[in-house]
Each structure stands twice: as C-alpha cells, then as structure tokens.
Structure 1
Amino acid sequence: MPSPDELPDGLVVADGTARVIVFNRTATRLTGVAGAEAVGRDFRDVLPLFDAEGRDWWKCLDPYAGLAIRTRHPECSLYLAGGAEVLVTAAYRRDPEGRVERFTVCLRDAARRARQERDRADLVSTVAHELRSPLTSVKGFTATLLAKWHRFNDDQKRVMLETVNADADRVTRLITELLDVSRIEAGRLEMRRQVVDLAGETRRAIAGRVAAGEAEDRFRLETRGPLPDMWLDPDKINQILGNLIENAVRHGAGTVTIVVEPDAHRQGAAVSVRDEGEGIPPEAAKRVFRQFWRGHGNRRSGTGLGLYIVKGLVEAHGGTITVQRAPEGGAEFRFTVPAGAPDYP
C-alpha cells in the first residue's frame, strides 16, 4: 500500500476531534503549509477553503455537526486563502452511532486539470484538422470515379486510386498515433520482447526511406563495436527509428547519420540520429518531446505527436532519449535502451 506522500493528490485526514493526523507532500505543495506544522491542528485552520462567493466552505458544510447520514461530498471547485483554485472531494468514516471518526479531504490542482482539458481539446482540434484533408480527397475522388468512371482512361483512374490509397494510409497512420498516445498516457503499452538486431533494424528503416524515394547517399550508418543481446519489441523499435529518421529528413538537411553503439553506462545500446540542418534552439530542447511540438517553420506539418510517441516508446523499454546539437551543426536525437532478457513471471 503506498504511503500518503506517494499519492499524486493532496490528502488531508482529520480525526474525531477535527485534528489533522495526515497531511501529505502534495497537500503541502498545493497549500504551502508544511506537514509538520499542520499535524495536530484543527483542519479548518490549516486548510481554509472558500467558494466562488467568498463564503467559508467549512461553515457551510459543518462536517462534524451536519447530517449523520452523509458519507462523502462530490468533487467541487473551491479556493484557498491565497486565491488558488483547487478541486476538492471529501469522505467520512463514522462509528456505529454516526459520529465522525475520520474526515478525509482530497485536493487536486485545478490549473493542472485545466491544462489537461486544453490538451485534450487541442488533440481533438488537431485530429479533426489532419483528418479533413485526406478524407476530403478520398470522398472527392471516389465520388468522381463512381459518377464518371467511363470518362477516364486507365492512367487517370490509376492516378486517382493511388491518391486515395495514399490518403487512406495517412488516415491509418493518424489513427495509429492516437492509439499510441492513449496507451502511453494510460500506461497500457504492451511490450512483446524478443532478441533484436538493432543495427539490422536500422538498415531496414533506412531501406524503407530509400524505397519511398529518398536518395540512398543521403543516409550513413555507423556501427561501433558489438552489442549485447537486446531484448526489445521489434515493432516499437522500428517505429522509433522510423520516426526519428523521418524527423531528420523532413526537418533537417544534408546527410542523415545514424550511429549504433554499445552504451557502457546502461549496459545496453545507444542509437544517435543526426542531421546537418539548423538544429534545435537550446530553449526549445525541453519542449520537443511534448505533444503538438513542431519545429520552426513547420507549424502546419504533421500532428506534432511523433516525438512524444518516440519518448513514450523508448521509456517503455526502460530507456531514455535526449536531443542536443550534432557535431555537424544539426540536431542529434540519441536514445539508449538496456540489454538483458525480460523478467517473466
């Protein structure tokens, strides 16, 4: 069972005399009151709360002298003495006579909740925007072919069907990205580990870009030393490599260099993907792995979810990923993954 300080929400517990017996670390962060100062005091003095009209919530609620049948209070928005908004829920534990034995208050950061809601709204807006273009194309070409099939020659039909097929692939990729984001945020990524030839996977990722029309001499692969047995999810590793290489091709310039080498620090492997473009400004380096980040001059390119997904997939392997300036002046994304067989139950 986790300790109160490990909980993500603020937790305040008062005993039957209204004295604080638990005041966890998150409650301290939200209120600015140290736990040692709170314990033993009347919780109403430690945690003054007010509604939107400025009324003292504890006087309105009267938790110890109110209705004996109350067991909890649903979440509501209240304000601390300093004006910060918090989301508050409360619950009672009563003795057989209905007297309050424990009164528990849970606090959540309203600003954080608002940011999460804005992120969800941004995600919906981004998805709607990204879906509109390919679906409009698919609808337009299929409607045209159905209505005027005999007016087009075979070459014209092929061009339109190839466009429909490419747009369908684009929609599929977007849906895959959304599913990945959902699984990362919910902690539900399933890992199917097996021994993976990391250098071989990198070669296949490069070959895929060449097959898609990139010049073969745009890529350089360097392998440095033998790697230990790498137990990884091959599909997710391919997705990581594909996203990083595509990012270098789309936003960078010059030769894209991929370095695969042992990582002595983590006893695993490290992969660096470098380009020779303008690079990423130092002030933006901390933001590149957030949702909806897009490089300078590419605000309308893609969903901005690719690097966020890459970070989630790397961390699901127990690895880390960083971005810095490459030796040639562009951006260098470097991720490490540990070696060793997975623990099976």
Structure 2
Amino acid sequence: MSVGMSSTRDAQPAPDAAAPRPAADPAGLGIDPDDLPDGLVVADEHGHVVCFNAAAQRITAVPAADALGQRLEKALPLEDLEGRRWWQLTDPYGGLAIRVGQPERNLLLPGGREVLVTVRYVRGEPTGPVRRVVVSIRDTEARRRTERSHAELIATVAHELRSPLTSVKGFTATLLAKWSRFTDDQKRLMLETVDADADRVTRLIAELLDISRIDSGRLELRRQPVDIGAAVGRHIQAYVAAGQPADRFLLRLEQPLPALWADPDKVDQVLSNLLENAVRHGEGTVTIDVTPSASPREGEDTGTSVTVSDEGAGIPEESMNRVFTRFWRGSKRGGTGLGLYIVKGIVEAHGGVITVGRAPGGGAEFRFTLPVSAPAYLT
C-alpha cells in the first residue's frame, strides 16, 4: 500500500528511530491511505509509525506530523476497558511467534473515547520476526446507533406484546376456571377479544419479520400483474364496510395505466399502511390518485404513481425527514411506529421511491412510484 505524501514526508523520526519507510503496495494499486474510510496506522519492524492516514487523524485527533516516526505505543496510546496499556499487554513484537494479530475489540483513546481496533502482524516468513504492525481503527458511533436501534426495537416489541398477551392469558384462564358461570354472550365477547389480541400479536410478528428481511436485504418479491386501481378500490370498500362513510374517500384513476408487475401482497401492505394513516391520523376527504409516471428505475420509461392525501393538520416540517424511520409516530394514537419504515423498505425493494409532503388541502401527502418491472422472461 502506498503512503500519501501528506502522511509521511513532513515528519521526522525520533532520534533513536530508524527512518520511516512507506508501507508496501504489493498489488500495485497505488491506493492512498488517506482514501481509506477507516483509520490506518502502520509501524515498521522497530515499532516506529510509518503511516498515519487522514481517518486515523480524525478519529484520534492526533496530527500525522506528530505521530510519524514515533513509537507505536506513544503515537497511539491505547488502553483496554479495564485501564491496562494495550501495547504492553499484547507485546506485538515479542511473545509467541505464531501470532498473526489481534481480533477487533473495543479500546480506549486518551480522554476515554472508545474505538474499535483490529491489529495484523506482518511477518516476512511464518514464525519469523514481525516486519509490520498494521492497525485498523474505526469509530464506534455507527455501531452504537445500531445497538441503540436494536435495544429500542426489543423494548417496543416487549411493550406491544405485553398488553395482548396479558389479555389472552387473563381471558383464557378465567374461561377455563369459571366456564359454567358465564352466559354464551359473555363467552363470545371474551373469545372475540382473545381472537383480536391474537391477530395483533400476529401482525407484530409479521412486522418484525419484515424488518429483519428489509435490514438484511432478503425481502422476497413474487411479481405478478397487479391492477393497482382495483387494489385501492378493495381497501376503500373494506373501510366502508367497517363503518367509514363512502364519501370520505375519493379515488381518481388516470387511464391508461401501464401494466404493473409487482408483489400483490406487498403492494396491499403498502396501501393498507398509507390508507390507515390517512384515516386514523388525518381528517376530511382521503384522496387517492393513481397515475402513470416516469419510472424511477433507469432503462424503463414508465411507472405507476399512487398518491394518498388527506385534509388534516399534516406532518410538521421538522418531522418530515423522520417519517420513514423506525418508531416514528405521527400522533400518540397507538401503533408501533414501524409501518412506514416497512412501507419504504417494500417500495425500495421493488425499485421504487416514496416521498412525503404537504397535500393541497393542508394534510399529509404520501406518494410512491413503482417501475413496471416485467419479469425477465417476458422482456
């Protein structure tokens, strides 16, 4: 690996140090260490730093000019989480000659900042003396954000599961213990409550599975021809059957629509979430516009856009950039805050895009666009 001039030329070695030498670049790629996203520190066979890239400067707050030529333990004074000096503890230039390095672990910089450090011992031959110590340094903030996100997810799931499971357990235990004391109508009411709570648990588990697949890039799509207008119509009919006034919904179809190939179940899930948000959190008429549009995918000319808007208070401007994140809730009226995160994942898995804005009537406006995406065997 070649060493950038900014990382090597200006520094002078300590009086007792061998002259710094550029790190090797056996592949001949000519990669500048300053282009690497992680911190890179390289020490020679004498333990003097010969490379200290820009990311290492940023993470450690130590200028390269101060680090180059210094002893490794002085330029990068790491401690483990128990306060022990790391280089004295591991002794990279001594100890067992079969060692190849140190696995990634959390260590502390002066001042207590935590970093992730991986070390590689480069030997000229197996069991030979160490010729290079290559240290990779990564900031822990991204990992901490991920860990916090996972902790929040677990806490939310535990909270959401507790209520329905408590209800299910209470009603079933009561029915088993005192079955003969209840009338048929009372039994039916309790069993209907158990059934509804079981559905709630099932929905939550389905959301968690969707999140897992979205985060890992394993969300499977089974593309079929989808009549998006008919799909929206079915959702509207279901709301009307459940008691919503028919005149609350306005469906506008712009014909002709391109033939859309998508996963019908996933499209239904997207429509269900967006319409539920408009009905529960919005006010006035819920308008659904289905129109042909430019495809969001390169190489395709056409796509289909669906816009769902209402006439409520809308979403505050400061919240617009958080709408599709986990646990965002537009109001305190129930929900896990996972629905729109899943919607975004489904739309993007189809190669589409989704946006949020303010509707002409003042409420929230969600718009997603899907490419035509005919299966390969039909193209």
Shorter-chain TM band? 0.7 to 0.9
Q: 1:43 to 1:273 in 2, by over 3 A?
A: farther
- Report Cα offsets for 1:253-309 as digits up to 9, x if no partner: 11111111112253311111111111011110011111111114x1x6111111111
Specify which of 85, 99, 104 is matched with residue 75 of structure 1: 104
Give, in whole Å, the separation in 1 of the partners of 2:367 and 2:71: 49
* Counterpart-to-counterpart distance in 2, 1:260 and 1:22: 56
Q: Does 1:284 align with 2:290?
A: no
Task: Note the alpha carbon deviations across 1:54-77, whole angstroms, 9 max, x for none.
Answer: 776445544344532212313322
Q: After the TM superposition, which residues 143-162 of structure 1 pair with which residues of structure 2 at under 5 Å, given as runs?
A: 143-162=173-192
CA distance in 2, matches of 1:191, 1:333: 22
Q: Distance in 2 between matches of 1:247 and 1:117?
A: 29
Secondary structure of 1:227's aligned partner:
coil
1:320 maps to 2:346: no
CA–CA separation in structure 2 for the residues paired with 1:42 and 1:270: 61
Out of 195, 200, 217, the residue aligned to residue 165 of structure 1 is 195
Partner of 1:180: 210
Displacement of 1:334 in angstroms is: 0.9
Shift of 1:34: 10
Name the CA distance, whole Å, in 2 between partners of 1:308 and 1:64: 50
Cα offset for 1:109? 2.6
Partner of 2:38: 10
Change over 3 Å in CA distance of 1:158–1:9 after alignment to 2: farther
User: What is the aligned-residue identity percentage?
Assistant: 59
Q: Is the 8 A contact 2:295 2:370 kept in 1?
A: no
Alignment root-mean-square deviation, CA: 3.3
**Farther-moved stretch of structure 1 (71-80 vs 256-265):** 71-80
Instruction: Choose 59-68 or 266-275, whichever is displaced more.
Output: 59-68
Aligned to 2:322, what secondary structure does the other structure show? Answer: coil
The aligned counterpart of 1:228 is 258
What residue is the counterpart of 1:246 in the other structure? 276
Supply the distance in 2 between the matched residues of 1:183 and 1:8 (Cα, whole angstroms): 30
- How far residue 30 of structure 1 moved from its aligned partner, in angstroms, is 4.2
Report the Cα offset of residue 170 of structure 1.
0.5
- Contact kept, 8 Å, 1:240 with 1:310, in 2: the verdict is yes
For normalisation by structure 2, the TM-score amounts to: 0.77
* Map of 1:339 onto structure 2: 372
Please state if 1:294 is matched with 2:322. Answer: no
Distance 1:227 1:20, change over 3 A: farther
Larger Rg: 2
The answer on whether the counterparts of 2:39 and 2:57 sit within 8 Å (CA) in structure 1 is no
Stretch moving more, 106-115 or 164-173: 106-115
Q: Are the counterparts in 1 of residues 295 and 304 from structure 2 also a CA contact under 8 Å?
A: no
In the other structure, the counterpart of 1:197 is 227
| Cα distance change of structure 1 residues 322 and 49 upon mapping to structure 2, 3 Å threshold | farther
Kindly indicate whether structure 1 or structure 2 has the higher relative contact order, using CA contacts under 8 Å at least 6 residues apart. Answer: 1
Unpaired runs of at least 5, structure 1:
none
Mapped to 2, the partners of 1:43 and 1:326 lie a distance apart of 62
Q: Give the counterpart of 1:330 among 343, 347, 363.
A: 363
Give the alignment's TM-score, normalised by structure 1: 0.84
Deviates further, 166-175 or 182-191: 182-191
Q: Which residue of 2 aligns with 1:134?
A: 164
SS in 1 for 2:270: helix
Give the Cα separation in 2 of the matches to 1:291 and 1:28. 33
Closer, same or farther in 2 for the Cα pair 1:43/1:107, shift >3 Å?
farther
- Cα distance in 1 for residues equivalent to 2:70 and 2:258: 59
User: Is 2:123 the partner of 1:123?
Assistant: no
- Give the SS at the match of 1:285: helix
| Distance apart, 1:99 and its partner CA | 3.1
Tell me how far 1:241 sits from its aligned partner.
0.7
Which of 59, 76, 94 in structure 2 is aligned with 1:48?
Answer: 76
Query: For residues 43 and 314 of structure 1, what CA distance do their matches in structure 2 show?
Result: 53
Check if 1:88 corresponds to 2:117: yes
Deviations 1:238-263 (A, max 9, x none): 11110111111111111111111112
Question: Over residues 109-132 of structure 1, what are the superposed CA-to-partner deviations in whole Å (9 max), with x where a residue is unaligned?
Answer: 322222222222211111111111
Residue 274 of structure 1 pairs with residue 309 of structure 2: yes
Distance across 1 between alignment mates of 2:280 and 2:58: 42
Once residues 269 and 257 of structure 1 are traced to their aligned partners in structure 2, the CA distance between those partners, rounded to angstroms, is: 16
CA contact (8 A) 1:181 1:309 kept: yes
SS of structure 2 residue aligned to 1:286: helix
Contact 2:77/2:110 (8 A) holds in 1? yes
Using a 3 Å threshold, how does the CA distance of structure 1 residues 289 and 65 change in structure 2: closer, same or farther?
Answer: same
- Give the aligned residue type for 2:312: G
Kept in 2, the 8 Å contact 1:275–1:332? The answer is yes
Consecutive unaligned residues of structure 2, counting only runs of 5 or more, are 1-30, 297-301
SS at match of 2:321: coil
**C-alpha distance after superposition, 1:166-196 (max 9, x if no partner):** 1110110011111111111111111111221
* Counterpart Cα distance in 2 of 1:318 and 1:28: 39
Kindly state the Cα deviation for residue 324 of structure 1 after the two structures are TM-superposed.
0.5
Taking structure 1 as reference, are residues 200 and 281 closer, same or farther at Cα in structure 2, changes over 3 Å only? same
